[in-house]
Amino acid sequence: MRARGSGLHALVGAYVLDAVSEADRASFERHLPTCEQCQQDVRGLREAAARLAEASAVSPRPELRDQTLRAAAMIRQQPPLVVSQKRAFLAGRRWHISQPAGAGARPWLARVALTAAVVLAITASVFGLHLSSMQGRLSAAEQRDAAIATVLGAHDATTLTAKVSTGGRATVVMSHRERALVFIASGLTRLPAAQAYELWLMSPTGVTPAGMLPPARKGMSGPMVVYKLAPGEQLALTVEPATGARHPTSVPVVLVALGS
């Protein structure tokens, strides 16, 4: 037992240098919670390794900064560990750096978000949108983050903008390839509590509800993702009862032809 423990302890350098196999890493991390000395060594040696990294510092190209910051605004953050989780985490997982639920397992999301950030940066500069003001809504649903990123990052993404007749401006970023669009509006007229804005997809064959706009935050409504676009449809926004309607009950305040 002692021999086994000290054998693992000898691995601490290779472990900190990420020079171990998956199997070695797993057995070392199983050993760690039971070995106070190993934990202390890992802490200290990681500080030393970090200095090796810092000694290699190079300046990133300036444009990467903006791209990264914009991409971050589209990515939902993980919540802190609550106490019961934290105990389990401290017991077993504290030393793991890659977490299965983290971005580590899904680098594609980060990549898509980066692409999207570039597109959105252009959109933002043209239409005066600010990612920071959208971030609150975006973080409400991680899946939607990915959908938005996918649309904004699509090769055929196009941006349309239209004045809203009752005030404000609507912006649509659309990808026919992804058959989806992202809708954002700014400066819409505030509605009484009993009313809300509703989106519709209108085609020659009928009208389909495309979702209720949540109340504006800092003057920004959306983003909303609308899926299953068909060629030749139009996107409409109407004022409806706050509970929503099955068919439009008023004249659209904005109508955007989506093309084909």
Partner 1 sequence: MAGGDRADGIPQGRPGGEARRDGLELILAQVAKGDHAAFSTVYDQAAPAVLGIVRRVLRDPAQSEEVMQEVLLEIWRTAARFDPSSGSAAAWIMTIAHRRAVDRVRTEQRAAERELRAATASIAYDEVSDAALTSLEHQRVRHCLDGLTDLQRESVTLAYYGGYSYREVAQLLGVAVGTVKTRMRDGLIRLRDCLGVE
Chain residues binding partner 1 by CB under 8 A are 10-14, 16-21, 39, 41, 43-61, 64-65, 67-69, 71-73, 75-81, 94-95, 97-99, 102-104, 107, 110-111, 113-114, 132, 135, 139
Considering the complex, state which of residue 101 and residue 194 has its C-beta at the smaller distance from partner 1.
101
In the complex, the smallest distance separating the C-beta of residue 177 from partner 1, rounded to whole angstroms, is 23
Q: DSSP letters along 109-156, please? A: HHHHHHHHHHHHHHHHHHH---HHHHHHHHTT-HHHHHHHHHHHHSTT
Provide the CA 241 distance to its chain's centre, in angstroms. Answer: 31
In the complex, the smallest distance separating the C-beta of residue 159 from partner 1, rounded to whole angstroms, is 23
Considering the complex, state which of residue 132 and residue 189 has its C-beta at the smaller distance from partner 1.
132
Spatial separation of the C-alpha atoms in residues 15 and 121, rounded to whole Å: 40
In the complex, the smallest distance separating the C-beta of residue 183 from partner 1, rounded to whole angstroms, is 23
Considering the complex, state which of residue 21 and residue 205 has its C-beta at the smaller distance from partner 1.
21
In the complex, the smallest distance separating the C-beta of residue 222 from partner 1, rounded to whole angstroms, is 19
Considering the complex, state which of residue 81 and residue 242 has its C-beta at the smaller distance from partner 1.
81
In the complex, the smallest distance separating the C-beta of residue 16 from partner 1, rounded to whole angstroms, is 6
In the complex, the smallest distance separating the C-beta of residue 85 from partner 1, rounded to whole angstroms, is 10
Residue found under tokens 């086994």: 4
Considering the complex, state which of residue 45 and residue 191 has its C-beta at the smaller distance from partner 1.
45
CA distances from 162 to 23, 167, 185 (A): 57, 11, 9
CA distances from 104 to 3, 53, 107, 185 (A): 34, 20, 6, 33
Exposure class string for 191-211: b at 16+ Cβ within 10 A, else e = beeeebbbbbbbeeeebbebb
Spatial separation of the C-alpha atoms in residues 220 and 184, rounded to whole Å: 7
Considering the complex, state which of residue 41 and residue 162 has its C-beta at the smaller distance from partner 1.
41
